[in-house]
Structure 1
Amino acid sequence: MWSIGIYVMGLVIIGMIHWTRKWSNPTCTAGRLPPGSMGLLLLGETIPFFFPSKSIDIHPSLKTRIQKYGPLFKTNLVGRPVVVSSDPDFSHLILQQEGKLVELWYMDSFVKLVGLSGSVKDGSCIIAGKIHKHLKKLIFEQLGPQNLKEKLLSGLEETVNQALSNWTTVPFVEVKHACTVMIINFTLRELFSYDPEKHREIMEEEFTDFFEGLMSLPLNISGNTYHRCLQKQKSTFMILRKMIEERQESTGEIRRSSGDLLDDIVEEMKNNSLFTKDVMSYIMFGILIATFETISTTLTLTMILLTQHPLVVQHLEKENEEILGNREDTKTRMKWKELKSMTFTMQVINESLRMGNFVPGYLRRAIKDIHVNGYTIPEGWTIMVVPSAIHFNPETYKDPLTFNPWRWKDLAGNVAAKNFIPFGGGVRSCPGVDFSKVLMSVFLHVLVTKYRWSEIKQGEIVRAPIMGFGRGYCIKVSEKLK
């Protein structure tokens, strides 16, 4: 009996050693894998990737490996083999090759939290091709330059004016939270004709917590972020489904008078059976997340950077005061041509987007073997394009950790095309790019021409891996003396 037990134990140990070696040294029959480490058994290198970093720089877990292995390396995150790219040319290629070399891929936490079992299988999204192109067109029609110019610009300015006026009535504001409220209220009202002040069903805290869960470890443990998000999932999507159902039941006259994105969504559901209530609720949720989370985080970082760089504030004031000075009536609303003339303001926004790197990585999955620089990325492996590594590349951006809006004056367009990707690239590039930049431009215009601010509490920048502000960044806002 002892000999049999020892024999069985020996087989188990041999099997574990074999499995561990296979995990640590994956093979590729079609070529040579990029250098790198697969980390611990089952966990891979997930823990270092999610470990908080209090720096605006590239996350240490990625920076260390880039320095060790180069711009292309293999690793394992959340139990999946991943090739990480900080190479601008290869990253640009991957973002342009959806449907040819790669497909969109989501983390398991995202798939489970949005609950799209019918539209997401094994992390890859089937909302692609003509369907994705059509949805993107719908969103672009609402958030693109034409509708911004004709409809949304005046509403944005009114919203920003009201928000900043409200900020002056309280001892201080936590900037991230206050920006979130401002943007969510505007988006719900303009895109879905939903009055958050009247209904108060959709709360900004729910969306913020939800986004943190999308990028967290998918461990359903009581009390952690992922668990809290799963609990909120049902109520959040019930509200969005209810909005769709109410619009479906409304009369044609009411729908025509709305003319918003929700109208377009309801119409598309009539013509395409793939556009179910669940799928369209996910689309609505994604739009809300995309509009408020990225912009509110970028605005908060911008406020921190402006406070640290008064010379930049002076140049912002000069440019925007000149716009007011050229008006016959300073009380008139902002015009589109004025917005497009705000050159330095846009340089400030681009520099904040470059340094913010809100998205830790763009994920794609290889649908065929990909050969690059003597290496092979096997079919089925995930590819993560890392914006921060591209945006902080000293070969492209001199002193990359320095906030320097003036650098954008000399950067050639072809350089920025591959080396500036805050909104992704290719067919999956964000259709709300213009909306985001216009909103930030209007916010900065109103802020520097009408108000002053002082720092009450410093915000501790934390990447885990999404950028946050730790204890919160708080300011006191007051009106400029006339």
Structure 2
Amino acid sequence: MAFNFILVIAITLIVAFFLSKFMFKGQTKNLPKGSLGYPLIGETFSFLRAQKQDRGPEWLEERTSKHGPVFKTSLMGSPTVVAVGQAGNKFVLGTEEDVLSAKKPVALVAIAGKQNIFELTGSRYRLVKGAMVSFLKPESLQNYIKQMDELTKIMLLRETENKDTIKAVVTMKKLTFNIASSILFGIKDEHTREVLFDDFSLAFKAGWSVPINFPGTVYWRGLRARSRIVSRILPILKERREEILQGKLSPTSNVFSCLLALRDENEQPISDDLILDNYVTLMIASHDTSATLMSLMIWKLSTDSEIYKKVLDEQMDILRKREEGAEDRLTWAEIQKMKYTWRVAQELMRIIPPVFGSFRKALKDTEYGGYDIPKGWQVYCVSHGTHMNKEIFEKPTEFDPSRFENPSKPIPPYAYIPFGGGLHTCIGNEFARVEVLTTIHNLVTMFEWSQVFPDEIITRQPMPYPSMGLPIKIRPRKL
């Protein structure tokens, strides 16, 4: 069995090697310098290994020092041009979608689905984006604050009950998953959420893997997890559709009901497949990135007493100024007062961006920096190229939240990109801000904590997390 598996892998690599030779035979295009690496695999393993060791910037710098700020490689199963710097960010994120599409790598598309919002273009993209934005814009978020605050309190109390130590990363992942499931999609059943959480954990890892669909691989496990997610959500869609027809559910109740009520340009409902693909996509996008930032906030507050004191003072001041007799729930106005806490989050996202970079796909032959980019190739920009640039951010290696308060010079466009940029700027950035601030408010006002391992480092898996899961000793705060 093992020999047969190795033989299949070997044959696949050999075939891929000769196919790549055939595809580029006689090609006269002026491609950037660099290496496409091994057949099929490319440089994916070395890239992911560097990320896991928190050496992503070094991996990048090794290639830019050798080939310049524009170089070619092969990542996640596709030949890729990497463009580093502000101009590169603007090219990748700001070019019109008929030239560079937000289409994702092969593995991520297989997990998210072919009709996810990043794969859509034109009227279908605008239709689905409009439905999602209607639930993620500030006017709508104001209606979710109390529900999000209550859910956060309940989960934190439950996760810490009869415990003096918890793993903060797992707790934050559960919290963000339950907030998205409950508030955005109206999935209230706890057992359903628990099962979906386990499968989404597998699916997300597979989205950043080499797309080899053999039993036992991360990709194979992720595809099976996606199938189970679809099987569990389809009956929920059927039930919601019937409730809308019977007038029991408003089309504006949650994202599911809104998508079910959508009609295309021909007044036809959109397919279940499209709804499922965008459910998976939105859950992945809203779950892990927010959990990353929350975990990094807890990690930073654990290691920097000065930052912690300022955040604590700001959050306790909100409680002190709450009117006597007022409901013990956060309000939209109170969220807006958390300016310093959010600046800490902004600085964390500058130094340790949750997403290392952004992919686009060339829909036609194009060029950048004097080099040709063939149709079908990926292009990739990275946050590190500008976030740690001393010409843009003074003393970039220093942690200084005040740089986002009154910067001595404005931050130029496409230089700070934790939420992407251009046409496909993250539509959930405001939802993430409210979610993070609500969580940190409850953590610092309800609990005190300390790290079990003070020297715990950050690694990318592929998101940046404390390497040991951030175990913390936690106890209720004495007010």
Q: What TM-score do the two structures reach when normalised by structure 1? A: 0.86
Q: Give secondary structure in 2 for the equivalent of 1:253.
A: coil
| Gap change, CA 1:361 and 1:274, over 3 Å in 2 | farther
1:64 corresponds to = 62
Separation of aligned partners in 2, 1:243 and 1:172: 36
Residue 349 of structure 1: which of 333, 345, 357 is its match? 345
1:398/1:244 Cα in 2 relative to 1: closer, same or farther (>3 Å)?
A: same
Distance change (3 Å), C-alpha of 1:207 and 1:101? same
Matching residue of 2:474:
477
> What does residue range 205-284 of structure 1 map to in structure 2 within 5 Å?
205-250=198-243, 251-256=245-250, 259-268=253-262, 273=268, 275-284=270-279
Structure 1 residue aligned with 2:6: none
Contact 2:76 2:208 in 1 (8 A): no
Letter in 2 for 1:158: E
Deviation at 1:33, TM superposition (A): 2.5
Distance 1:428 1:96 in 2: 8
In the alignment, the residues of structure 1 paired with residue 252 and residue 130 of structure 2 have an alpha-carbon distance, to the nearest angstrom, of 19
2:153 corresponds to 1:157 = no
- Structure 1 counterpart of 2:445, which letter? T
Is the alpha carbon distance of 1:132 and 1:412 closer, same or farther for their aligned partners in structure 2, counting shifts above 3 Å? farther
Task: Determine helix, strand or coil for the equivalent of 2:317.
Answer: helix
- For the 8 Å contact 1:45–1:76, the answer to whether it is kept is yes
Q: Which piece of structure 1 moves more, 375-384 or 51-60?
A: 51-60
Paired residues of 2:183 and 2:254 also in contact (CA < 8 A) = yes
**Structure 1 residue aligned with 2:45:** 47
Letter in 1 for 2:103: W
Structure 2 counterpart of 1:8? none
Which SS does the other structure have where 1:211 is aligned? helix
How is 1:366-445 mapped onto 2 (pairs within 5 angstroms)? 366-411=362-407, 414-415=410-411, 417-445=413-441
**Alpha carbons of 1:84 and 1:236: their partners in 2 closer, same or farther (altered >3 Å)?**
same
- Distance between the aligned counterparts of 1:105 and 1:345, measured in 2? 34
Q: 2-side partners of 1:240 and 1:84: how far apart?
A: 37
- Tell me how far apart the structure 1 counterparts of residues 397 and 61 of structure 2 sit (CA, whole Å): 14
Moved more, 316-325 or 305-314: 316-325
Q: Return the alpha-carbon distance in structure 2 between the equivalents of residues 443 and 26 of structure 1.
A: 57
Rg larger in structure: 1
Percentage identity across paired residues of the two chains: 25
Secondary structure at the aligned position of 2:125 is classed as helix
CA RMSD, 1 decimal = 2.9
- For 1:26-45, what aligned pairs fall within 5 Å after superposition? 27-29=27-29, 32-45=30-43
2-structure distance, mates of 1:79, 1:328: 57
Aligned residue pair count: 459
How far did 1:399 drift?
Answer: 3.9
Q: CA shift at 1:463, angstroms?
A: 2.2
CA distance 1:443–1:412, shift in 2 (3 Å): farther
Structure 1: 5+ residue runs without aligned partners?
1-15
Closer/same/farther in 2, CA of residues 365 and 153 from structure 1, 3 Å limit: same
> Which residue identity lines up with residue 252 of structure 1 in the other structure?
Q
Alignment of 1:467 with 2:474, yes or no, is no
Measure the CA separation in 2 of the matches of 1:386 and 1:26. 31
For 1:338-364, what per-residue CA distance to the aligned partner results, in whole angstroms no more than 9, with x for missing partners? 221222111011112223322232111
1:215–1:466 contact (8 Å) kept in structure 2: no
> Which residue is equivalent to 1:10?
none
- What is the CA-CA distance between 1:426 and the residue it aligns to? 1.8
Question: 1:464–1:174: structure 2 CA closer, same or farther, 3 Å change rule?
Answer: closer
Partner of 1:108: 106
Q: Is the 8 A contact 1:58 1:389 kept in 2?
A: no
Aligned 8 A contact 1:188 1:196 in 2: no
